[in-house]
Amino acid sequence: MKVVILAGGLGTRLREETDVRPKPMIEVGNHPILWHIMKTYEKYGHKEFIVCAGYKGEVIKSWFANYRILNSDITVSIAEDVTMKFHSNLEERGWVTTIADTGPETMTGGRIKKIQKYVHGETFLCTYGDGLADVNISRLVDFHKKHGKIATVTTVKPVSRFGVLDIDKDNKVLSFNEKPQGESSINGGYFIFEPQIFDYLEDNSVLEDDPLRRLAEAGELMAFHHDGFWQPMDTYRELLILNELWNSGKAPWKVW
């Protein structure tokens, strides 16, 4: 089952980082967040990827094209022909990745529409290229196969950015809960789509708007509930959080 990763947005809220590279190439530890996402899927046996590039997509292409050189010890022999010997066996050698230029300003649904030819009419996984989670992909796939609908979305309950106070009618604070988990479920990415999803997409659809709404109205959208770790990387503060977790050696998403 191929994995589609949405990696073409402008990343305007991380402009200090995205002036020179696309958001999915911002590093957590010594690796782009895109690598972390792909490692998660690899853990569950998924090694075929379609990266929907756009803004500064050439950076993503260059990273993949030079991956073995940049991550291996090499011996270079310069004669009439330059030959190169690699001394490292990369864990990622089984990855097969298609980097598709889907445009710098294309919306999420439009990006998926533009890679239709690469999924070959098969069921496919899909997620965003700017967040990390410890979603059990095997359980997600089993859930999707059992319900038989067109689409599955993974739902999460994010932690509030603010402390929550319970106050009585006399303004007495009854309890204070620092940054609790919210009660409402939200879209956490980690989708699975049947090929019929393309019937709901236009060239510049916003996936999270009309397509998912129409699927829900048709009874074709199911929710896979994830209660574990989930953290988007929308702000510099969230980037710091992810790096602190990785550097601590206790990154919850590191399941490989």
pLDDT tens, position by position, for the chain (256 residues)? 999 999 998 888 888 788 889 999 999 999 999 999 999 999 999 999 999 999 999 999 999 999 999 899 999 999 888 898 998 888 888 999 999 999 999 999 999 999 999 999 999 999 999 999 999 999 999 999 999 999 999 999 877 655 555 666 775 556 556 555 556 788 999 999 999 999 999 998 999 999 999 999 999 999 999 999 999 999 999 999 999 999 999 999 999 9
Threshold 0.85, pTM exceeds: yes
Torsions phi, psi of 200, nearest 5?
-100, 0
Residue-level pLDDT at 23: 95
- Report the alpha-carbon distance of residue 78 to residue 213 in Å, rounded: 59
Q: What is the pLDDT of residue 170?
A: 73
DSSP codes joined into one string, the chain: -EEEEEE----GGGHHHHTSS-GGGSEETTEEHHHHHHHHHHHTT--EEEEEE-TTHHHHHHHHHTHHHHTS-EEEEESSSEEEEE----GGGG-EEEEEE--TT--HHHHHHHTHHHHTT--EEEEESSEEE---HHHHHHHHHHH--SEEEEEE-PBPSS-EEEE-TT--EEEEESSPBPSS-EE---EEE-GGGGGG--TT--TTTHHHHHHHHTT-EEEEE--S-EEE--SHHHHHHHHHHHHTT--TT---
Is 2-155+185-247 a domain of CATH 3.40.50.1980?
Answer: no
How many angstroms separate the CA atoms of 154 and 224, rounded?
A: 5
Q: What angle do CA 246, 29, 64 make, to 5 degrees?
A: 130
47 close to 98: Cβ distance less than 8 angstroms: no
pLDDT at 215: 95
Any idea where the domains of the chain sit in the sequence?
Answer: 2-155+185-247
